[in-house]
Chains A and B, each alone.
Chain A
Amino acid sequence: AQSVTQLGSHVSVSEGALVLLRCNYSSSVPPYLFWYVQYPNQGLQLLLKYTTGATLVKGINGFEAEFKKSETSFHLTKPSAHMSDAAEYFCAVSDLAGGGNKLTFGTGTQLKVEL
């Protein structure tokens, strides 16, 4: 079974500082990996995804993530945090072995951005 571990349930950064949210995965097959963001009282919005090809993936709102197979990691970064980035972030892996669209999510990281 596939799984995802997000280190740090709460991360606090200053506005303008680097954002680094950590995600490690476990998968017996090449994974499809995703980062989603959730704002209060809203659904999930896809930030970026890794399927195949280039290991550095760029997403929306200035976020990017790098797939590192040797470290089984897919950490999310943004060079400069903005107040509007405050939200909960979820890393997820797709289970293709069973066919279809099942996503397994990490427990989430709440990002706080301070002035």
Chain B
Amino acid sequence: QKEVEQDPGPLSVPEGAIVSLNCTYSNSAFQYFMWYRQYSRKGPELLMYTYSSGNKEDGRFTAQVDKSSKYISLFIRDSQPSDSATYLCAMSAAGGTSYGKLTFGQGTILTVHP
């Protein structure tokens, strides 16, 4: 079983929809949680970064972390065609040599159609 599980989709939604992307994890040492957006043939781009349970909002994006359930989510409100991309969750343990050593989910392919 993988340490991080992410539904690969693909997910197709109409413009303006609310999108929910989710990951579950099994390693309770994970303390830092990230969401990356990756456009085709580009490098992953950091979208959201959190390190505590609860919600973090940035514009149309909300990241949610529930450490007790080992579950993280990314919500996209008022989705736009420009949001069409692959979304990757990533996480790492804290301290020592763990910084920057990320474990990724498989990625969810999202298409927002006009």
A and B part of one assembly = no
